């Protein structure tokens, strides 16, 4: 679609208009753009990104949001309902992930839920005299952890992965030393949807007396149903004694509105390390549970409403459809000797060109893009993934994908030796970053996403 598809359709506001515009006119513009942009998701053609796809569910959550859209939950004396909502969100999530007690925080999304533990484990290390802390994690761990390390002055040590693309424990062990404050494993990884050997990471964490964060931002609210649905999902949660924190995004498979996530800790003592307090400020006692100050009461209320409206039965029903569809997708990919699935995924299926067939996976992606399918491009190795969400489970979606994938492989064979149009770009579907911006660098892309179209 490109960055500026509406420049010829609607007026570009390059300064604040002198007079306010008609509300109905504004709503019509918003409605038109939203309808266009939701179309691919409604057809089930998007990997990840749109997790529910149920517009009645959205309408319900938006109604809930409206009651608290103006509320700042920093002011608990005015909005004490936020304490109920947050406490119950944390308790419900803690129950799903077998936490010993409901101890956690509600955050603005996965990035905050990954950055906060980095701060916590730095502070935990300082209490023990560690002034140059490091955290050991596999190369497949989410870059929000790099962001946290950058902000908080932590050395990241990146372990290699096995031929199954999960953390290599020999590599992990070799990187741990007296300054290591924590390990990280994913359930599942963003690139490949795989579960790192959390049990082995837990054993090492206990052995060395350090912490272990499990990044369940993507997979936490779907993998937690695997056991009940008789899928061989390994234990990845607080039942493992070395696990000290877990993040799980409610705005993904929790089917809440963007952006919300839950970060759980094994103990209140760990959680307190992320609190910020300024007791001597002239404006009064200031404290916040994490990096955010003002927070929307609407998001918190809608997250609570999503969870209690679906209940265990609703989540189980949706999870069963997602696991079934992911297995069907693996079968579709397996019909093509030119392609191979990476590892053993349950819901997020990554695939690449097989070693024996000379096709470029991004030629495959190019064809998919031309026919309206938005996959996610990966690198190291080159691959694409199809993260199954609720819209992808609708009748006929996998049948249509099977047809287009078959044609895409033929397209890739015909173009062997020529450069593909797409590549690996997180958050852009691997397709829509203009070539001139790629050449100018990733900073140019970020500048463009926050800029007006050329005059």
Task: Quick: pLDDT tens for 121-156.
Answer: 999 999 999 999 999 999 999 999 999 999 999 999
Question: Is the domain of 279 the same as that of 324?
Answer: no
Q: What are phi and psi of 268, to 5 degrees?
A: -60, -30
- Check residue 453 and give its pLDDT: 66
For tokens 């109604």, what's the residue?
63
Q: What are phi and psi of 66, to 5 degrees?
A: -60, -30
Counting every residue written for the chain, the total comes to: 455
Question: Is the domain of 334 the same as that of 286?
Answer: no
Kindly tell me if the per-residue pLDDT of 174 is higher than 70.
yes
**For 65-91, how does the pLDDT look when each residue is reduced to its tens digit (9 = 90+)?**
999 999 998 887 888 898 999 999 999
Domain assignment present for 86: yes
Question: Is the domain of 273 the same as that of 373?
Answer: no
- C-alpha to C-alpha distance for 66 and 296, rounded to whole angstroms: 11
Contact 431, 422 (CB under 8 A): yes
Kindly tell me if the per-residue pLDDT of 376 is higher than 90.
yes
Question: Is the domain of 360 the same as that of 288?
Answer: no
Q: What CATH number did the domain enclosing 139 receive?
A: 3.40.640.10
Question: Is the domain of 260 the same as that of 129?
Answer: yes
What average pLDDT does range 36-49 have in this prediction?
A: 90
Q: What CATH number did the domain enclosing 380 receive?
A: 3.90.1150.10
- Check residue 448 and give its pLDDT: 54
- Check residue 451 and give its pLDDT: 53
Question: Is the domain of 133 the same as that of 188?
Answer: yes
Burial-class residue 201 by CB neighbours within 10 Å (0-12, 13-18, 19+).
Answer: buried
Kindly tell me if the per-residue pLDDT of 166 is higher than 80.
yes
- C-alpha to C-alpha distance for 96 and 322, rounded to whole angstroms: 18
- Check residue 454 and give its pLDDT: 67
Instruction: Indicate the helix (H) or strand (E) that contains 261.
Output: strand 261-265
- Check residue 394 and give its pLDDT: 97
CB atoms within 10 A of CB 319: 23
Mean pLDDT for all residues in the chain: 91
What average pLDDT does range 274-303 have in this prediction?
A: 89
Which of these three, 237, 260, 295, is where a domain ends?
A: 295
Structure tokens at 181: 């404050």
Domain assignment present for 17: no
Domain assignment present for 57: no
**What pTM value is reported for the model?**
0.91
Question: Is the domain of 219 the same as that of 271?
Answer: yes
Question: Is the domain of 206 the same as that of 326?
Answer: no
Domain assignment present for 280: yes
Which of these three, 295, 330, 355, is where a domain ends?
A: 295
Question: Is the domain of 327 the same as that of 252?
Answer: no
Which of these three, 252, 268, 295, is where a domain ends?
A: 295
- Check residue 79 and give its pLDDT: 87
What average pLDDT does range 219-236 have in this prediction?
A: 97
Question: Is the domain of 290 the same as that of 396?
Answer: no
Domain assignment present for 283: yes
Domain assignment present for 20: no
Q: Structural domain tally of the chain? A: 2
- Check residue 38 and give its pLDDT: 87
Question: Is the domain of 110 the same as that of 84?
Answer: yes
Structure tokens at 403: 């047809």
pLDDT band at 285 (very low <50, low <70, confident <90, very high): confident
Domain assignment present for 49: no
Kindly tell me if the per-residue pLDDT of 108 is higher than 70.
yes
Domain assignment present for 247: yes
Question: Is the domain of 238 the same as that of 357?
Answer: no
Q: Which domain holds residue 165?
A: 71-295
pLDDT band at 426 (very low <50, low <70, confident <90, very high): very low
Kindly tell me if the per-residue pLDDT of 373 is higher than 70.
yes
What average pLDDT does range 441-445 have in this prediction?
A: 53
DSSP H helices in 394-451:
397-414, 435-440, 442-449
Kindly tell me if the per-residue pLDDT of 61 is higher than 60.
yes
Q: What are phi and psi of 210, to 5 degrees?
A: -125, 180
């Amino acid at each position: 679609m490109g960055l500026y598809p509406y420049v010829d359709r609607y007026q570009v506001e390059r300064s604040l208009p002198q007079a306010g515009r008609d509300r109905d006119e504004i709503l019509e513009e918003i409605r038109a753009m939203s309808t266009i942009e939701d179309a691919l998701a409604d057809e089930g053609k998007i990997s990840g990104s749109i997790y529910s796809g149920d517009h009645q569910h959205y309408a319900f959550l938006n109604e809930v949001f409206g009651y608290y859209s103006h509320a700042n939950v920093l002011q608990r004396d005015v909005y004490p309902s936020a304490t109920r909502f947050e406490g119950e969100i944390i308790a419900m999530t803690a129950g799903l992930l077998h936490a010993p007690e409901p101890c956690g925080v509600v955050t603005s999304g996965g990035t905050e839920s990954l950055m906060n533990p980095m701060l916590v484990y730095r502070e935990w290390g300082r209490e023990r005299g560690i002034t140059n802390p490091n955290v050991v994690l596999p190369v497949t761990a989410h870059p929000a952890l790099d962001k946290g390390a950058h902000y908080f002055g932590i050395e990241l040590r990146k372990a290699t992965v096995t031929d199954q693309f999960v953390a290599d424990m020999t590599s992990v062990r070799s990187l741990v030393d007296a300054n290591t404050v924590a390990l990280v494993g994913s359930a599942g990884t963003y690139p490949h949807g795989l579960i790192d050997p959390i049990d082995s990471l837990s054993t090492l964490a206990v052995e060395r007396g350090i912490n272990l964060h499990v990044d369940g931002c993507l997979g936490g609210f779907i993998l937690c149903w695997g056991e009940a649905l008789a899928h061989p999902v390994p234990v990845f949660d607080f039942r493992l004694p070395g696990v000290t924190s877990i993040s799980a995004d409610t705005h993904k498979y929790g089917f809440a509105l963007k952006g919300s996530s839950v970060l759980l800790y094994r103990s209140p003592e760990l959680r307190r390390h992320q609190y910020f307090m300024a007791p001597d400020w002239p404006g009064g006692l200031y404290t916040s549970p994490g990096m955010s100050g003002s927070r929307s009461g609407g998001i918190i209320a809608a997250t609570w409403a999503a969870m209690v409206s679906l209940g265990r039965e609703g989540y189980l029903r949706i999870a069963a459809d997602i696991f079934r569809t992911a297995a069907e997708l693996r079968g579709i990919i397996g019909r093509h000797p030119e392609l191979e699935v990476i590892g053993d995924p349950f819901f997020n299926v990554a695939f690449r060109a097989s070693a024996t067939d000379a096709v470029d996976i991004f030629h495959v992606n190019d064809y998919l893009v031309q026919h309206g399918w938005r996959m996610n491009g990966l690198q190291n190795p080159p691959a694409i993934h199809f993260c199954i969400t609720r819209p992808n489970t609708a009748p006929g979606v996998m049948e249509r994908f099977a047809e287009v994938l078959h044609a895409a492989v033929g397209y890739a064979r015909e173009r062997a030796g020529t450069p593909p149009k797409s590549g690996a770009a997180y958050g852009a579907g691997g397709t829509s970053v203009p070539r001139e911006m790629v050449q100018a660098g990733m900073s140019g892309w970020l500048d463009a996403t926050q800029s007006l179209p050329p005059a």
